[in-house]
């Protein structure tokens, strides 16, 4: 049998230009992110744990301290960050070097698939062959996420928060694009099922050597608005047990708060309108941890101190 | 992806790219040693996989545009999602000042003035607004590069042919 050389054995370039184009894409992304001090993923692996609401409130909290904050909605199929930050129908300014993000009333620069879709109730569809989506869809969506990160004129940012949809594959997708992620906040709830799923994400983050990994335990207890009694919504102790088992610290325990959800639905994060609410105090404490670990200060403050 | 001429044990060189229809992508490769030619034909799903990477076999005639993949691939794109920076001069000026750049239209490329005839504008208006800004910029940049001061339907055809703008 004839011996055919391997791909790597054959070093001669075909002239098809594919490799150069992929490298160019990587450079564009790297050049854009070079102006971002820290990229922080808000992920879970589990759905329905409140990642987007936490991302929106955390972004607004950090922006309220004078930090330059961006929020990229990596959930292309179920985008909600635009709505939660009050920029649902905002227009994007189309310039030669990039697309300017929407600016939320709380001062957060936002990019979300929601801003690109005409019909609110339209599921995400691509204008491509109806069959065989399993072959190309993931590749296309990774490419679009790359554009959200690399083709948006984020400007000089202190923090870019990325709201990652459920599924560890989506975390991997982000890590392929941004391998040197600064922080990954893994949101869980105190249920055994959530612990089971989020543990997989913890492992993935560790294997990817993400610099800082922390847990955010959401929906921890519910305060009755009538009598003030605090009761548990779940029987498990997901966040605490996961912390014990994995050694990944819980940075915040956020109580279930009806107003937190209602405000987020309205497009004005509660952390802006009622920072003293228990849920918002937890978000502000989380913002402290994020800031402290990143060692960042507002750009204006740094520039003033240095001048 | 590489094609090896087994007989010559040489990597074949890319020669030509065509989109003959039916979602087929044809890429022709030639052996520099024996001149043998082969054409790689992809089915629509394979063609889509390649375009989903945001690349073009044979290289790009036009640099990748911001959010090109999203704009050219999304079904049901919002008609007023984008507003051209040159259509909002104040915002553009502020943005440029904020980033410390000179607020010069067309900065970074040739800055020659390009006029669109009414016929060319009408034709451009048939392009969905979701991608119109991107398409307009491609034609305008081409005109500047070629020293064309007026864009007409004929020059649009020329640009399309030269730049390989399928579907634009």
> pLDDT tens, B96-138?
333 333 333 333 334 568 889 999 999 998 888 888 888 888 8
- Average pLDDT in the B69-98 region? 71
CA distances from A27 to A22, A23, B50, B63, B119 (A): 9, 6, 20, 13, 39
- Residue B79 to residue A4, Cβ atoms within 8 A: no
A132 to chain B, any CB pair closer than 8 A? The answer is yes
pLDDT of residue B91: 41
- Residue B73 to residue A93, Cβ atoms within 8 A: no
pLDDT of residue B168: 54
* A:11-70 residues touching chain B, CB 8 A cutoff: 12-18, 20-22, 24-25, 28
* A:111-130 residues touching chain B, CB 8 A cutoff: 115-119, 122, 124-129
B54 CB neighbours in chain A (<8 A) are 21, 25, 143, 146
Q: Is residue A1 part of a domain?
A: no
Residue A303 has pLDDT above 60, yes or no: no
- Residue A16 to residue B48, Cβ atoms within 8 A: no
Could you give the residue ranges of the DSSP H alpha helices within B53-151? 68-73, 89-98, 118-125, 129-146
CA distance B132 to B126: 9
- Residue B2 to residue A20, Cβ atoms within 8 A: no
Of B106 and A82, more confident: A82
A297 pLDDT tier (thresholds 50, 70, 90) = low
Residue ranges of domains in chain B, CATH in brackets:
1-59 (2.20.25), 60-168 (1.10.8.550)
**Tokens read off for A72:** 């990229």
Q: Is residue A23 part of a domain?
A: no
- Average pLDDT in the A248-268 region? 94
B32 CB neighbours in chain A (<8 A) are none
Tell me how many domains chain A contains: 1
What's the distance, CA B121 to chain centroid?
A: 19
Q: Is residue A117 part of a domain?
A: yes
A131 CB neighbours in chain B (<8 A) are 45
Pick from A287, A27, A30, A248: nearest CA to A159: A287
A72 to chain B, any CB pair closer than 8 A? The answer is no
- Residue A136 to residue B48, Cβ atoms within 8 A: yes
Q: Is residue A290 part of a domain?
A: yes
Share above pLDDT 90 across residues of chain B, in percent, rounded to a whole number: 40
Task: Give the gap in angstroms from C-alpha B69 to the nearest C-alpha of chain A.
Answer: 6
pLDDT tens, residue by residue, A177-204 = 999 999 999 999 999 999 999 999 999 9
Residue B10, helix vs strand vs coil: strand
Q: Is B106 exposed, middle or buried (0-12, 13-18, 19+ CB in 10 A)?
A: middle
Query: Among all residues of chain A, which has the CA nearest to that of B80?
Result: A91
Mean confidence (pLDDT) of chain A: 91
| Residue A112, phi then psi, degrees to nearest 5 | -150, 150
A298 to chain B, any CB pair closer than 8 A? The answer is no
CA distances from B88 to A63, A87, A92, A95, A201 (A): 26, 19, 12, 11, 44
pLDDT of residue B131: 87
Q: Is residue A25 part of a domain?
A: no
Q: Is residue A220 part of a domain?
A: yes
pLDDT of residue B108: 32
Q: Is residue A9 part of a domain?
A: no
**Strand partners for A289:** none
Q: Is residue A296 part of a domain?
A: yes
- Classify strands B4-5 and B10-11 as parallel, antiparallel or unpaired: antiparallel
pLDDT of residue A75: 97
Share above pLDDT 70 across residues of chain A, in percent, rounded to a whole number: 95
pLDDT of residue A233: 86
B24 CB neighbours in chain A (<8 A) are none
Pick from B54, B2, B6, B62: nearest CA to B33: B6
Share above pLDDT 90 across residues of chain A, in percent, rounded to a whole number: 76
- Average pLDDT in the A258-266 region? 92
Q: What's the domain range around A202?
A: 38-306
- Residue A12 to residue B69, Cβ atoms within 8 A: no
B48 CB neighbours in chain A (<8 A) are 128-129, 132, 135-136, 140
- Residue A14 to residue B14, Cβ atoms within 8 A: yes
Give helix A18-33 / helix A133-150 axis angle, nearest 10°.
Answer: 40
- Record the pTM: 0.86
Q: What is the dihedral of CA B94, A92, A260, A220, to 10 degrees?
A: -110
A4 CB neighbours in chain B (<8 A) are 4, 6
pLDDT tens, residue by residue, A4-55 = 889 888 888 888 888 889 999 999 999 999 999 999 999 999 999 999 999 9
ipTM for this prediction: 0.88
- Residue B44 to residue A97, Cβ atoms within 8 A: no
Query: Among all residues of chain A, which has the CA nearest to that of B137?
Result: A96
A298 pLDDT tier (thresholds 50, 70, 90) = low
CA distance B70 to A128: 12
pLDDT tens, residue by residue, A199-248 = 999 999 999 999 999 999 999 998 887 887 888 888 877 689 999 999 99
User: What CATH number does the domain containing A232 carry?
Assistant: 3.40.50.300
pLDDT of residue B141: 87
CA distance B99 to A132: 43
- Residue B11 to residue A14, Cβ atoms within 8 A: yes
């Amino acid at each position: 049998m004839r011996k055919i050389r391997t791909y790597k054995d054959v070093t001669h370039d075909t002239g098809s230009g594919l490799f150069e184009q992929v490298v160019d894409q990587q450079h564009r992304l790297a050049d854009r992110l070079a102006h971002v001090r820290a990229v922080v993923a808000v992920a879970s692996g589990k759905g329905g744990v409140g990642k987007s609401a936490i991302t929106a409130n955390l972004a607004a909290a950090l922006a309220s301290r004078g930090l330059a904050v961006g929020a990229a909605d990596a959930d292309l199929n179920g985008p909600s960050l635009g709505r939660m930050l009050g920029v649902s129908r905002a227009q994007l300014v189309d310039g030669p070097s990039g697309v300017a993000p929407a600016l939320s009333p709380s001062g957060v620069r936002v990019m979300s698939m929601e801003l690109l879709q005409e019909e609110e109730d339209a599921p995400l569809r691509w204008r491509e062959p109806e069959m065989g989506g399993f072959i190309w869809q993931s590749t296309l969506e990774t490419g679009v996420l790359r554009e959200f990160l690399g083709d948006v004129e984020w400007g000089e940012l202190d923090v870019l928060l990325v709201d990652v949809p459920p599924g560890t594959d989506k975390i991997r997708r982000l890590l392929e694009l941004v391998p040197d992620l600064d922080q990954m906040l893994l949101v869980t709830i105190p249920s055994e099922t959530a612990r089971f799923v989020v543990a997989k994400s913890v492992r993935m983050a560790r294997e990817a050597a993400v610099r800082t990994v922390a847990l955010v335990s959401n929906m921890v207890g519910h305060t009755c608005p009538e009598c003030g009694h605090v009761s548990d919504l779940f029987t498990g102790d997901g966040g605490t047990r996961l912390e014990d088992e994995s050694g990944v610290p819980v940075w915040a325990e956020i109580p279930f708060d009806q107003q937190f959800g209602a405000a987020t639905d309205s497009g004005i994060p509660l952390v802006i309108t009622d920072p003293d609410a228990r849920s918002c105090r937890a978000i502000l404490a989380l913002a402290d941890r994020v800031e402290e670990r990143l060692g960042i200060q507002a750009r204006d403050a740094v520039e003033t101190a240095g001048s | 992806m590489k094609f090896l001429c087994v007989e010559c044990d040489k990597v074949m060189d890319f020669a030509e790219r065509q989109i003959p229809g039916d979602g087929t992508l044809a890429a022709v490769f030639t052996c520099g040693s024996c001149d043998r030619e082969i054409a790689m034909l992809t089915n629509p799903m394979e063609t889509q996989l390649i375009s989903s990477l945001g690349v073009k076999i044979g290289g790009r005639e036009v640099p990748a545009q911001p959010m090109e993949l999203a704009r050219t691939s999304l079904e049901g794109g919002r008609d007023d999602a984008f507003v051209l920076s040159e259509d909002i001069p104040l915002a553009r000026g502020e943005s440029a000042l904020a980033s410390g750049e000179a607020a010069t239209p067309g900065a970074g490329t040739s800055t020659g003035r390009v006029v669109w005839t009414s016929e060319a504008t009408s034709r451009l208006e048939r392009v969905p607004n979701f991608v119109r800004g991107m398409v307009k910029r491609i034609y305008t940049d081409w005109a500047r590069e070629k020293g064309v001061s007026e864009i007409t339907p004929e020059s649009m055809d020329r640009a399309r042919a030269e730049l390989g703008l399928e579907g634009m």
